[in-house]
Amino acid sequence: MALLQVQDISISIDRPEGKVGLVRDVSFDIQPGEIVGMLGESGCGKSLTALAILGLLPEGMTATGEILFKGANLLTLDEPSLCRLRGNRIGLIFQEPMTTLNPMMTIGDQVMEPLRLHRGLGRHDARAEALRLLERIRLPSPRQKFDSYPHQLSGGQRQRVVIAMAIACKPELLIADEPTTALDTTMQMQILDLLLDLTDETDTGLLLITHDLGVMAEMTDRILVMYGGSIVETSPTADLIASPAHPYSRGLLRAIPQRAPGSDGWLEPIPGTVPAPAARPQGCLFRARCPIAIAECAAHRPELRDILPGRSAACWVPIIHGRTGDA
């Protein structure tokens, strides 16, 4: 059984002028030990999807559909049950290590919190376990740092602490929402390596949210490409990098700076902008920016469908093996 099964999740926000759909019919699943990447530009619904999994959507937003975590639908669970899951069986790592730690609490106290809360450890045991965790995430001189406040740590060190908190109770599922975006490049690789090691050790499923394709290619088994609140392509990582099927995925790949010999060094931006959630047109949302749009794209919005074994795309004219094929 899949560890996490997200089925037809739609998220909408209540506005005075009516409900506005933000995320539409997102479905995917994560197996134990699998690393799934979620790719897309800002505002495409990645973080909202992550928050919906934990039942932490901001006020005024509602999610419909099914989120099955080991068979239990998270959307119908009550708050106390969700509290028992969060930080215990599902961990979340945020983007901004500068703001996700409480400035008034010592590092040690914050790492001890989930241990005391979910595993009922006493102060003494929690301290020993927290120190073990800080060693495991390779925080330099953990014993000294234990009584430090967040402002006394560097960005990379803080993110390690955030990770320690997320993995403290050995969650079965870890969601990392842009865990390295705020860090410099060398620190990025260290943190990602750490995440890889940790998920390997415990067979934890990892949902990695990022807009960094380089990170995706290194880390993930499978990639979900999101655009305008929907998944437009899902493919094994190697396939997607080698031959993106959706024109948007291809656009993203072409917009990566290349240093490879033979490349002329020019980036190819994707023209235009993402339509705002309240002003999404009929038909394909990517149509206005798409170099290969056809008449059908304006009339009907393409649904996600299988185009090759293990790969699906939401496009009327997916690019298969580098060529535009017929649907």
Partner 1 sequence: MTAASTSTASPARKIGWLRSPSLVAGGIISATITSAALLSFLWTPYPPLAMNMAQRFQPPSLQHVFGTDQFGRDVLSLLMTGAQSSLAVGVVAVAIGLVIGSALGLIASARGGWIDEIIMRMCDFLFAFPAVLCAVMLAAALGAGMGNAMVAIGVYNIPIFARIVRGAAAGVWVREFVLAARTSGKSSTHIAIEHVLPNILDIIVVQATISFATAILAEAALSYLGLGTQPPTPSWGRMLHESQVFLSRAPYLSIFPGLTIVTMVLGINLLGDGLRDLLDPRYARER
- Smallest distance from partner 1 to CB 68, Å: 19
Question: Contact between 62 and partner 1 (CB under 8 A)?
Answer: no
Give the amino acid at 22.
Answer: L
Q: Which stretch binds partner 1 (CB under 8 A): 5-13, 20-28, 159-167, 319-327?
A: 159-167
Confirm if 222 and 34 have CB atoms less than 8 A apart.
yes
Q: Which stretch binds partner 1 (CB under 8 A): 34-42, 158-166, 302-310, 318-326?
A: 158-166
For residues 248 and 77, give the distance between their C-alpha atoms in angstroms, rounded to a whole number. 36
Question: Contact between 80 and partner 1 (CB under 8 A)?
Answer: yes
Question: Contact between 79 and partner 1 (CB under 8 A)?
Answer: yes
Confirm if 191 and 160 have CB atoms less than 8 A apart.
yes
| Chosen residue from 62, 64, 76, 102 binding partner 1 by CB under 8 A | 102
Question: Contact between 83 and partner 1 (CB under 8 A)?
Answer: yes
Q: What mask of x and - would describe binding to partner 1 in positions 20 to 59, judged by CB under 8 A? A: ----------------------------------x-x--x
264 contact partners, CB below 8 Å, separation of at least 6: none
Question: Contact between 257 and partner 1 (CB under 8 A)?
Answer: no
Angle at 218 between CA 223 and CA 173, to 5 degrees: 60
With 0-12 CB in 10 A as exposed, 13-18 as middle and 19+ as buried, what is 201?
A: exposed
Q: Which stretch binds partner 1 (CB under 8 A): 147-155, 180-188, 244-252, 293-301?
A: 147-155
Return the number of the residue (53 or 297) whose C-beta is nearest partner 1. Answer: 53
Q: Which stretch binds partner 1 (CB under 8 A): 66-74, 76-84, 231-239, 245-253?
A: 76-84
| Chosen residue from 78, 120, 151, 265 binding partner 1 by CB under 8 A | 151
For residues 311 and 327, give the distance between their C-alpha atoms in angstroms, rounded to a whole number. 14
For residues 280 and 303, give the distance between their C-alpha atoms in angstroms, rounded to a whole number. 15
Give the amino acid at 101.
Answer: L
H or E segment and range at residue 80:
helix 79-85
Give the amino acid at 21.
Answer: G
For residue 243, what are its two tokens? 């031959």
> What CA–CA distances, in Å, run from 283 to 2, 86, 286?
32, 38, 9
Return the number of the residue (118 or 311) whose C-beta is nearest partner 1. Answer: 118
Would you tell me which residues interact with partner 1 (CB under 8 A)? 54, 56, 59, 79-80, 82-88, 91-92, 94, 96, 99-105, 113-114, 117-118, 143-144, 146-147, 149, 151-152, 162, 165-166
